[in-house]
Amino acid sequence: MRYRFTDNFWFGCAESATQTEGFCAAGGKTPSNWDHAFKSSPHRFFNQTGPEETRGFWQNYREDIQLMRETGINSYRTSLSWTRLMPDGYHLDEAAAAGYRDIILCLKEAGIEPVITLMHFDLPFLMQQKGGWLSAQVVDAFVRYAETCFDQFGDLVSHWITFNEPIVPVEGGYLYDFHYPFKRDFASAARAAFNTQLAHARAVNLFHERRYAGKIGIVLNLTPSYPRSEHPADVYAAEIADLFFNKSFLEPSLNGRYPEKLIALLKHYDQLPVVSEDDLQIIAHARVDMLGVNYYHPRRVQARQTAINPASPFMPDWFFDAYEMPGRIMNTSRGWEIYPQGIYDILTDLRLNYGNIPVFISENGMGVENEERWIEAGQVNDAYRIDFIRQHLIAVHQAINEGSHCFGYHCWTFIDNWSWLNGYKNRYGLYRLDLKNMQRTPKASAQWYAALIKNNGLN
């Protein structure tokens, strides 16, 4: 069967500043929360590999963009580093602005649409010291940073993203202790989540009120919650998981309000943060022009199998347990289930229940450990990655045929990059990065993706 996409469909890749640029302190960049986390807790990072080196995109962007051009990439999502662009958090570094401007110009000259994210996890440590996303002062500073970016690059950038996966710093930093500041406290998580949503809303409203050209949206990692069975207890468990990890950002971002069921649940357990009506109105007024969806795997849950100690700290896990479905197909390197149906279900849900908002798949990919074992004649034969992308694109195509307003697909990622706590443990790239000499070589998937783009579809 032939799967053809529209002529203007985005076939691209996604990356981020912290994971590709390197620290480059000589350029004036100040530490981010990730730089500080590695300095203070290197044992948390795989092979004690931190964000200082990464792959040097800041120095090699011309060569990397040329590789994208040769592959046929027509869109590329990356982020700006607040700590590089405004080292003190408030004032522009002219050299950094010129550097970013040249990167964006190089993309456009190569026929690649730049999709620019303002915040991809890397909060300036100076802002973290002010309280991070627990602080209203940091929300104000983020809006000023967003305005600076719109003013500096608005003549070149037509597609903006406020936050990438805003739930992840909330989960990692305040619920499950895997992002800085490495805490487990639901009240702090709820406050950080609300302030992040408020910062997003204020940036969106500013963008529209100032009538900047282009479109603005947010990228959410939507992970469908599937119940173990149709038993009401399992269905309820999946509903609660969905409220916490999907709808807590999806509903206010798209509908301007929080789910009533989530509000009632948090109020019942005395976990609802105190917020002002003015801030709620700011969120209600903000409407994104597009949505990016990051999808890697589903979430499968079941009703709690054991009772909760009422004296224990409140957590989302009070309401569900993870469920391992028999016969599931796994990416054993990452510990994630491979389930292309999930991407179809997300797009269908957005079509049926969220006004069929314009959406693109902003991340989807497969990370594999020890890819050296698949090298044949000097090239990684990553047939598993080709199969993964193919299956997910077929699911996207099905959703589009049924009316979904999906206009693009970005795989994660173009060249192997540094991956937060995991370093280079799992490789995601279409191009292999040799850590000894930084040489980039195409994997089999790069050639396959190039053919896909050239044919605007697949068989």
The phi, psi pair for 371, rounded to 5°, reads: -70, -10
Cα–Cα distance measured from residue 350 to residue 420, given in angstroms and rounded to the nearest whole number: 29
Category of 311 on φ-ψ map: left (φ > 0), alpha (ψ -120 to 50) or beta:
alpha
For residue 22, count CB atoms less than 10 angstroms from its CB and return exposed for 0-12, middle for 13-18, buried for 19 or more.
buried
Which one, of 214, 186, 220, 185, lies nearest residue 200 by Cα? 220
Alpha-carbon distance of 226 to 238, in angstroms, equals 6
**CB-CB contact of 71 with 450 (8 Å):** yes
The runs of H, that is alpha helices, within 354-431 are 383-401
Active site (annotated) includes residue 165 = yes
CA angle (188, 190, 194) in 5-degree steps: 115
Task: Output phi, psi for 227, to 5 deg.
Answer: -80, 150
Q: What is the dihedral of CA 25, 29, 30, 32, to 10 degrees?
A: -100
Rounded to 5 degrees, φ, ψ at 85 are -70, -35
> Are the CB atoms for 60 and 54 separated by under 8 Å?
no
Strands 321-322 and 299-302: antiparallel
Nearest to 173 by CA among 225, 241, 122: 122
Nearest to 191, CA basis, from 135, 121, 126, 122: 135
Alpha-helix residue ranges (DSSP H) falling in 323-428:
341-353, 383-401
Catalytic choice (15, 165, 171, 337): 165
Q: In this structure, are residues 363 and 410 in contact, taking their beta carbons and an 8 Å threshold?
A: yes
CA atoms of 74 and 381, how far apart (whole Å)? 24
What six digits make up the tokens of 211?
């009538």
- The type of residue at 167 is I
H-helix or E-strand containing 300? strand 299-302
Q: Are residues 160 and 217 in contact, defined by beta-carbon separation less than 8 angstroms?
A: yes
Among 391, 455, 453, 354, residue whose Cα is nearest residue 111: 453
Q: At 300, give phi and psi (nearest 5°).
A: -110, 130
Q: Is 272 left (phi over 0), alpha (psi -120 to 50) or beta?
A: beta
Exactly one of 21, 171, 337, 363 is catalytic; name it.
363
Q: Looking at the annotation, which residues are catalytic?
A: 165, 363
